[in-house]
Each structure stands twice: as C-alpha cells, then as structure tokens.
C-alpha cells in the first residue's frame, strides 16, 4: 500500500492524505484513503474493527469492536494532526440495533463533553463479522 501524501490544491491549500500501510494503521481492502486533511478540516473514511494485518477484532462483541474502531479513527485523526477532541461530527453504522446500548457504552468513554453531533444508522456492512463502522469529521484550531 501507499504512505501519506501531501499536495497543494489549485487554490494553494495543502492537503494531506493518510493511506493504508503505515505502521499502526488498519489495512484496507479497497482503493481509498483512510483520512484527509484539507485546510482546517479532517475527514476519516469509515473505520472498522480491524488491526494493521486486517484481522477483525472482537468478532461477535460490539464493545470490543467499537473500541477497536474508535482506536482506528483516533489513529487516522492523529496522522492528520487532529485528536478526538477536535471531532465535530460522527456517523455510525450498526449491523444490528440490538448492539446500540453496548456501542454507546464504549463510545461515551471516547468523547468528552460537549460530544460531537452524530448520526447512527442500521446497515449491512462489507463483511458479515463486522458489527460497527464509524467515520468522523474534525476541525483544527476551533477552540
């Protein structure tokens, strides 16, 4: 896979793409970046509970999967110069809404007040063992 790439857009703004294959980041199975910083905005791709070798963590355990997924979100944000504290919007996909309470239990430990706005929807995920997917949008320098 590829390492992070920095480039300037046509308006002179710098963009940083975080790519799969970097130490400590999850490996992806499709052609996309894990995250991008464009000016003061940071966007992560939807992250799932896999480790750097594509192993699914916590099969059948929504708490373990949510924690690993948020670890991946945090790692991508860090590569883009952001933290979980900079997150303003989160989207969560759950395979089954019976997992909503367990996901929320772990999610609450990752975000301090005021928590980011969020959406949570039920969806079929790309692999049947995946119970959760999470993406985040962060703003740098917004304190």
Q: Is 120 a catalytic residue?
A: yes
Catalytic residue among 56, 120, 125, 139: 120
- Quick one: how many helices (H) and strands (E) in the chain? 2, 7
- Local structure of 25: helix, strand or coil: coil
Name the one residue in this structure whose structure tokens are 């979980």: 84
For residue 82 the two structure tokens come to 């952001």
CB atoms within 10 A of CB 79: 21
Distance between CA atoms of 43 and 102, rounded to whole angstroms?
Answer: 25
Handedness of CA 79, 83, 89, 92 (dihedral sign): positive
Catalytic residues: 120
């Amino acid at each position: 896979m590829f390492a992070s790439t920095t480039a300037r857009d046509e308006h002179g703004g710098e963009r940083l793409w975080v790519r799969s294959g970097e130490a400590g980041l999850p490996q992806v199975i499709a052609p996309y970046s894990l995250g991008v910083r464009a000016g003061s905005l940071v966007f992560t791709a939807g992250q799932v509970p896999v480790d750097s070798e594509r192993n699914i963590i916590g099969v059948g355990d929504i708490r373990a999967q949510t924690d690993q997924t948020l670890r991946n979100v945090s790692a991508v944000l860090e590569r883009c110069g952001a933290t979980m504290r900079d997150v303003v919007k989160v989207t969560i996909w759950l395979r089954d809404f019976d997992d909503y309470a367990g996901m929320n239990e772990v999610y609450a430990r990752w975000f301090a007040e005021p928590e980011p706005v969020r959406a949570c929807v039920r969806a079929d995920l790309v692999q049947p063992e995946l119970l959760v997917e999470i993406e985040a949008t962060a703003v740098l320098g917004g304190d």
